Amino acid sequence: MTRPPRLARLLLHRLALPDDRPFIVDDLDEEFMDRVKDRGPFSTRAWYVSQVMLSLPSLVRLRLSHRDPHRIRTPMFPDFGSDLRDALRRARRNPLSAAAIILISALGIGASTAVYTVVHAVLMTPLPFAGSERVVRIENMVPRLANEASYLPSDTWTDFLAWRERARSFEVLAGLWEGGTMRAFTLAEETTSLPVAIVTEGFDNLLGVRPLIGRSFVVDEYRFGGPHVMALSEQMWRTRFGADSGVVGRTIVVSDAPRLVVGVFPDANDFPGPVAAWIPLAPVPETSMARGRMSFLALHGRLRPGVTVDQARAEMQSLIAETATTDAQRERVARVTLLSEKLTGPVRPVLLLLTAVVAVTLLVAAGNVALLLLAQAEARSRELSIRLSLGSALSRLARKLAVESVLLAGIGGALGLLLAKVLVSKLVAFYPGRLARADDISIGPPVMLVAAAMTIVVGLVAAWPLLRRLRSADLATGLREGTVSASPAALRVRRTLMIGQLAFAVAMVTSGGMLVRTFVNLLRVNPGFDATGVGYISVSSSVVRYPDRAVLLGRLQRAQEVVRGLPGVTEVASVTYLPLPSRIIGYGTRMMRADDPAQREYSIQFRHMSPEYVDVMRIPVRQGRSLTASDDATGADVALINETLARSAFPAGNALGRAITVQSRTYTVVGILGDMKYWGLAQPVIGEVYVSASQSSLSFRSIVFKSTVDPAIVGAAARAAIRAADETIVVSQSGRLADRVAAASAPERFRALLVGSLAILAFILAGFGLYAVSAHAVAMRSREIGIRVALGATGGRVRRSVLRDTFVLGASGTAIGLALAWAASRGLTAFLTDVSGFDLMIGGTAAGLFLVLSLIAAALPAVRASRVDPLIAMRSE
Amino acid sequence: MSKGDHLAEFELCVIAALAHLGGDSYGAAIRKNIADRGRRLVSIGAIYATLRRLESKGFVRFYIEGARPVQGGRARKRAVLTVAGRAALKRSASLFSRMLDGLTPRPS
């Protein structure tokens, strides 16, 4: 017979005034019974729930207004104190099992709180400036290498001017320069290279910048020829200038040009990042920047109220069509993304993955706690039976058990919170690259609330099977037999719990295995160069101090010679951009084939290198030749391209000898180099063009060297030697190239380590669970086993039967777990490299491990079972 | 007219339903009556809460009817319309009819 939904019914009962209670519930039940005949159980149950839900407001109001001052208030949890004392006493009497419960809930709650903290800070807290929810990043993408998955954003100064004039979707449209944002600050006779934000007009307005002291920039300062000004960041102001308000009006030498400090801006560590100063962008006319040849401008806008992201995107797309002058420009695709999404974008899937993994760990832990509590309760079934038969209400006992499990989970939760504090700092420190919102991460009140909620959930989830058992089991028989667990319902609960726990653990181990495999695969990826014994040191000089290009290059060349002279250094070369940068600097530029009537654009990375670079890095020359010393400023304009670019721009395979145009200059392709991983080991290879460093006018380069001693030591020595030789050279970073390669697989290592260790935790928990279930089954069956042995069953046979039972349990859990893992692998694909959606070998290995685990877990109970003495077993009853 | 005599819309519904049911009925029947006649969603909790309020105004009183020896017979809490309750119903009804007289509300 269909019955009203139990939970809703209980809620109604709980909320009604004590005098009305039986009547209101009976009334609703009566109607339920009438309705169910006509309308069927499903819709009637839904009706019942809606009745209860609709009743809530009136009942709550009634209760609030109906406080009888003379009535003795019965608290929500009567006898809570005595229940608590009881629970504590019991925990003391049974310290091992209490400790196990506390430990398991601490691990589960600790891990989940830690991850929730990070998720909360990164994904849920808005950016700290007004109107930030309407700020978008605008990208104007060029298809790169005809591969739709790898579009590159590309905005130029001229794009900015055009969009700003025409776009109607935005209140403010402003840009942030992303190419070359390090500047040499001369402070107290010492020159330091520090990051700056170079911004167009309106950027301060976009972020709602209110200068702490002084003012922001004025229109004149954004024009070439206008006053050279800057604003310090709050951090710079405090650390370097002791928060001296007299700094406004002072002049600081930046990249050898004096700049007037007009104000101090508050820190904006989320966006644009931790910068030392802000500088207005004022392009020099007729330079490649001013003519729109350099696509380093990150455009941002604040949407007008009521304008959606999609509308803005549509407008930008139509503006592209209006302002394009070539077919290639018309092919560009507008992309408009909310800034908050842009900032957390790359982290979001990782955090979601972590959340899923942690939720599963929490479930496995709760399942384990439930099994332990169940075992405890079984040991007490005689006591519970006596209490019941003496007239204790079922609800009273249920409350007692709930208080007990919530108490233990609560202690576990408190410990878990401590654990979470440690884990959070480890997570933030360990996360490769800067976690976009790392500064906001701490365990605050909202996180505490969630942790408390999780504690109660673990406690109640763990107590749930017990309460169910209390309801279903015939406790009177418990009195007689001394145990209630013999009932098939109780066994079912245990086995279901165990299978569920196993299934989740198997899914975790399989997913963890796939992530570990991805990491291992990445370690095997050939980056296209040999980093062994190679070190690097990045240097820059100043265009302002040395406007003559030859002098500038001579200075940089001299730094290179200084490195060559260091002991242990065998080879030296230089390049403008080193592979595998820790953050994305520069979005590349465009290349066209000189003879292409369609003027098709290929997005490429453009590098200047010394001829030895190919040798130091051991980059293979596939066709043609490498650069030589004669390819200098006086020689012909020649270029090397990589295989990928050769394939896509010259599909006929005739790249050698052809002319290409990059930044308005035409080069002849003389050689094709092997592909190199540039952005990351798992990233697709991008098109690259190399030309001679002596044709460069860039004021910075990275010197790479091969040495017989540790490159890190050489790097440190080189830093000192360069400074001694030429104090105008600014050294920004140095180190081993191998470390950059290792850092490039850091995200994968992070994921593999985290999920892997949680998977091991789940595996161990599952092992304990299996052992507990198996040992418990043997204990419960001791009489039956005794009879079997008395009837002639051999020890081997008894052992086999115990092993078989646990093995069947393990196998069913594993089967479901594999299905779960298969489903989960679809969500995982984004994190996998060279691992097919669901790796059969990993799945098989995990399954094998769990099957072996179930046998190992059952081994001890099996041996114990075979030693059952029939006489003792039967006497004990 | 003191505030205590005033009937809110839903209170009027409950009193009217009670009157339709012979001036003596219980929660489920009143709820069903309003739901059918008023063609609106009515929750059992609202009925009980309103009856309580009407009781405090003196318009209804309760008594417990013992279980009858039939299938499904159970104890019920029944509400009876008092004399004051009937008077209030009459007052409110005539107030409404006077106020609405001459208006032709379009049935929606």
* Model confidence at A479: pLDDT above 60: no
* Residue numbers in B near A20 (CB within 8 A): 48, 77
Q: For A58, which of B45, B75, B77 is closest by C-beta distance?
A: B45
A380, with CB counted inside 10 A (0-12, 13-18, 19+), is middle
Residues near A335 by beta carbon (within 8 Å), at least 6 away in sequence:
A138, A139, A140, A141, A151, A153, A313
* Model confidence at A255: pLDDT above 90: no
Task: State the pLDDT at residue A442.
Answer: 66
Q: For A55, which of B28, B32, B46 is closest by C-beta distance?
A: B46
User: Cβ contact (<8 Å) for A23 and B31?
Assistant: no
Task: State the pLDDT at residue A443.
Answer: 66
- Highest-confidence range of A189-203, A240-254, A270-284, A835-849, by mean pLDDT? A240-254
Query: CB-based contact (8 Å) between B66 and chain A?
Result: no
Which of helix, strand or coil describes residue A263? strand
The shortest C-alpha distance from A65 to chain B (Å) reads 10
User: Cβ contact (<8 Å) for B77 and A20?
Assistant: yes
CA of B48: how far to CAs of A331, A722, B14, in Å? 69, 89, 10
Read off the amino acid at residue A27.
Answer: D
> In what helix (H) or strand (E) does residue A260 lie, and over which residues does it extend?
strand A257-265
Q: What's the CA gap between A181 and A110, in Å, rounded?
A: 40
* Residue numbers in B near A12 (CB within 8 A): 44-45
The shortest C-alpha distance from B50 to chain A (Å) reads 9
Task: State the pLDDT at residue A842.
Answer: 86
Split at pLDDT 50, 70, 90, the class of A724 is confident
Task: State the pLDDT at residue A788.
Answer: 85
CA angle A416, A418, A420 (to 5 degrees): 65
CA-nearest residue to A56 within chain B is: B45
* Model confidence at A160: pLDDT above 90: no
Residues near A445 by beta carbon (within 8 Å), at least 6 away in sequence:
none
Identify the CA nearest to A23 among candidates B83, B107, B18, B66.
B66
Sign of CA dihedral A675, A676, A682, A683: negative
Alpha helix (H) residue ranges in A650-726: 711-725
* Model confidence at B20: pLDDT above 80: yes
Asked which of A97-101, A341-345, A404-408 is least confident by mean pLDDT, the reply is: A341-345
User: Cβ contact (<8 Å) for A27 and B43?
Assistant: no
Query: CB-based contact (8 Å) between B3 and chain A?
Result: no
Q: For B32, which of A31, A58, A61 is closest by C-beta distance?
A: A31
Residue B77 pairs in a beta bridge with B64
Q: Are A371 and A125 in contact (CB under 8 A)?
A: no
Task: State the pLDDT at residue A163.
Answer: 85
Task: State the pLDDT at residue A416.
Answer: 85
Alpha helix (H) residue ranges in A120-217: 157-166, 203-206
Residues near A708 by beta carbon (within 8 Å), at least 6 away in sequence:
A533, A568, A570
* Model confidence at A148: pLDDT above 50: no
Asked which of A434-438, A606-610, A746-750, A760-764 is least confident by mean pLDDT, the reply is: A434-438
Task: State the pLDDT at residue B37.
Answer: 87
Q: For B44, which of A17, A27, A33 is closest by C-beta distance?
A: A27
pLDDT digits (tens, 9 = 90+) for A503-557: 888 888 888 888 888 888 888 888 889 988 999 998 888 776 777 888 888 888 8
User: Cβ contact (<8 Å) for A54 and B46?
Assistant: yes
> How confident is the model over A288-311, as a mean pLDDT?
81
CA A359 to chain centre: 15
Query: CB-based contact (8 Å) between B32 and chain A?
Result: yes
Q: Are A574 and A693 in contact (CB under 8 A)?
A: yes
* Residue numbers in A near B67 (CB within 8 A): none
The shortest C-alpha distance from A467 to chain B (Å) reads 28
Q: What's the CA gap between A608 and A615, in Å, rounded?
A: 15
* Model confidence at A284: pLDDT above 90: no
What is the rounded average pLDDT for all residues in chain A? 80
Q: Are A330 and A324 in contact (CB under 8 A)?
A: yes
Q: Percent helix, strand, coil in chain B (nearest 5)? A: 55, 15, 30
Length of chain B: 108
Task: State the pLDDT at residue B1.
Answer: 43
User: Cβ contact (<8 Å) for A62 and B52?
Assistant: yes
Split at pLDDT 50, 70, 90, the class of A149 is very low
Q: Which two tokens stand for residue A125?
A: 């807290």
Query: CB-based contact (8 Å) between B56 and chain A?
Result: no
Residue with tokens 């007239």: A391
> How confident is the model over A389-411, as a mean pLDDT?
77
Q: What's the CA gap between A285 and B11, in Å, rounded?
A: 81
% residues pLDDT > 70 (chain A): 84
Peptide bond into A272 cis (omega under 30): yes
Query: What's the complex ipTM?
Result: 0.88
Which of helix, strand or coil describes residue A57? helix
pLDDT digits (tens, 9 = 90+) for B49-69: 999 889 988 899 998 887 777
Split at pLDDT 50, 70, 90, the class of A418 is confident
Q: For B43, which of A20, A23, A55 is closest by C-beta distance?
A: A55
* Model confidence at A696: pLDDT above 60: yes
Q: For B43, which of A17, A33, A54 is closest by C-beta distance?
A: A54
Q: Are A603 and A144 in contact (CB under 8 A)?
A: yes
- The string of DSSP letters for A796-809 reads HHHHHHHHHHHHHH
Task: State the pLDDT at residue A483.
Answer: 47
* Model confidence at A266: pLDDT above 60: yes
* Residue numbers in A near B10 (CB within 8 A): none
Helices A394-430 and A80-93, packing angle to 10 deg:
70
Task: State the pLDDT at residue A151.
Answer: 47
- Highest-confidence range of A123-127, A232-236, A568-572, A583-587, by mean pLDDT? A568-572
The shortest C-alpha distance from A42 to chain B (Å) reads 19
Residues near B105 by beta carbon (within 8 Å), at least 6 away in sequence:
none
Which of helix, strand or coil describes residue A495? helix
* Residue numbers in A near B32 (CB within 8 A): 31
User: Cβ contact (<8 Å) for B49 and A56?
Assistant: no
Q: What's the CA gap between A413 and A114, in Å, rounded?
A: 12
User: Cβ contact (<8 Å) for B28 and A20?
Assistant: no
Chains A & B: contacts with CB separation below 8 Å: 68
Q: Are A432 and A340 in contact (CB under 8 A)?
A: no
Asked which of A5-14, A246-255, A462-471 is least confident by mean pLDDT, the reply is: A462-471
Task: State the pLDDT at residue A80.
Answer: 75
Alpha helix (H) residue ranges in A380-434: 381-389, 394-430
Task: State the pLDDT at residue A325.
Answer: 74
> How confident is the model over A697-723, as a mean pLDDT?
88
Asked which of A273-277, A367-371, A473-477, A656-660 is least confident by mean pLDDT, the reply is: A473-477
Q: Are A679 and A610 in contact (CB under 8 A)?
A: no
Q: Are A396 and A453 in contact (CB under 8 A)?
A: no
* Model confidence at A341: pLDDT above 90: no
User: Cβ contact (<8 Å) for B43 and A66?
Assistant: no
Q: What's the CA gap between A413 and A107, in Å, rounded?
A: 9
> How confident is the model over A6-33, as a mean pLDDT?
86
Which of helix, strand or coil describes residue A40? coil
Task: State the pLDDT at residue A377.
Answer: 67
Query: CB-based contact (8 Å) between B75 and chain A?
Result: yes
Residue A533: CA count within 13 A, CB half-sphere: 11
Asked which of A483-492, B20-29, B71-80 is least confident by mean pLDDT, the reply is: A483-492
Task: State the pLDDT at residue A261.
Answer: 92
User: Cβ contact (<8 Å) for B50 and A26?
Assistant: no
Q: Which two tokens stand for residue A391?
A: 């007239």
Task: Read off the DSSP letter of residue A601.
Answer: -
pLDDT digits (tens, 9 = 90+) for A647-682: 988 988 888 999 998 878 899 999 999 998 887 787
CA-nearest residue to A29 within chain B is: B28
> How confident is the model over A621-629, as a mean pLDDT?
90
Q: Are A721 and A705 in contact (CB under 8 A)?
A: no
Task: State the pLDDT at residue A239.
Answer: 82
Task: State the pLDDT at residue A706.
Answer: 94
